[in-house]
Amino acid sequence: MVTESKGRDLFIVDNSVSGWTGLRYLEEWSGIAKAFDIATGYFEIGALLALDGKWQPLKNIRILMGAETTLRTRKALLEAVRSRAVEMLDGSRSSASFAPTSSSVLKAPSSPSSSPAIAC
């Protein structure tokens, strides 16, 4: 009896196997897959930079990541979240003329207790 794949097959990549890294797996599968779901304890933005030109055609990338990362990755993620917030706030301004501008919200003074907490 042959079962049909539903596109939900799980494949675990462990970088401890010589020559078979997560990067190599993603490079090979980026031309086949429609989306990536990745769970990792440690995420570094260099992985996406190494895959430049290959991950962009994917419909969706979801990354579940642990708290450990580099400063470069943390900065990139915070900037992406900030840019996305600006886009969303600016898009909603047209429907609510009384809303403050996104730049005034992002430039508002903050105390250490009110700064965003993002686990990266």
Strand partners, 117: none
Would the pTM of this model clear 0.75, i.e. be above it?
no
pLDDT, position 53: 92
Residue 11 within any structural domain of the chain = no
> In terms of residue numbers, what domain contains 47?
22-96
Residue 86 within any structural domain of the chain = yes
The Cα–Cα gap between 24 and 111 comes to 43
Per-residue pLDDT of the chain (120 residues; tens, 9 = 90+): 444 555 566 777 777 777 778 888 888 888 899 998 888 888 888 888 899 999 899 999 998 888 888 999 999 999 999 999 999 998 876 655 555 554 544 554 444 433 333 333
Residue 54 within any structural domain of the chain = yes
Residue 63 within any structural domain of the chain = yes
pLDDT, position 40: 86
Q: How many domains does the chain have?
A: 1
Residue 102 within any structural domain of the chain = no
The Cα–Cα gap between 68 and 119 comes to 8
Strand partners, 40: 65
